[in-house]
Structure 1
């Protein structure tokens, strides 16, 4: 137990040092790229994506709160190293229960792992596209973050060797090199709406069940 505590303190210091240079979402993008020269391409994200995410988040948090008697839901809670879409705490004591991250696109794991490890509470990732919920506890977060630190170390060593690893990342990379690909993606974000709101009730049920496990059955109302 003492060894694990020491290991966690070391990992915490290393992650907090990395967060001085990167946001949790930036670390997710780095974790998913092999090439050490990769950097994000400056691009304008259509406002409709943000609108869909915010609408889905509002719906989900409101539905979850409707089911809770002894717990309070907070929207977009700011943390020292970022912010979570939702935060659930015990109503009277304000004891933190868990955080909620809502995803309407690709699910990423570094961001919720950072939140879980540094706050010491679980982060529930609500994947509205697939209708699934993934719970990142501190044990899982530890595994993800150790892997992230190793990946950063390896990328740094490859960069020192001036290595390039071309592939799928070249479509999104802002680096000027011979492998860069300029491809325009024409997707209609409105196609997401049907799937997202069709999955809403199932995802709300799963989030509520996770809250039940954290606080006991007494604080949750059954659906009418």
Structure 2
């Protein structure tokens, strides 16, 4: 008889710092240009500067921060054009992955999704962009995990990861969050009713909504760049 070894979900201090700082950058809590200082970060997380340095090196490798010798580490500006391209690809794949998952989502899972919706609704009403964006990712990942074609699911998740800074759209305010919330509710309703044609239509519209929001970020970034150039 073989025994299954259950390993604890252990994360090093550097991993904890990395994930939290990545999340803050992706949601705009840490804006481009923000300087990241070792001492305040180490004090916040109750550790030495060694794991902080390790986390910053990982953030630099991911392109989320820029390290200037003898000056410091700064949050990098997002590559909006790349975000648009990644979101375009995801908007094609995610509706199919979601429809493929729907037949495998039972009543217990529907209840779990509705619990997430209730939490998302509260966060939206509070305009809690960072927390809403984090839970939005969990919502879609929960559905993708039920897709029998896990290669397609992995592709969509990878696109989510590469375009993580697209979560900046959740800072667009209560109106954006309210519409996003309505669409999530329709997704769960369609899954529960097993209306796959309607589900594909809703998820495609939801993906397009996110894509349009990212394109809006690109337009705003271009305007900011033009205004800066004129002021000089």
Normalised by the length of structure 1, the TM-score is 0.26
> Which is richer in helix?
2
> Which is richer in strand?
1
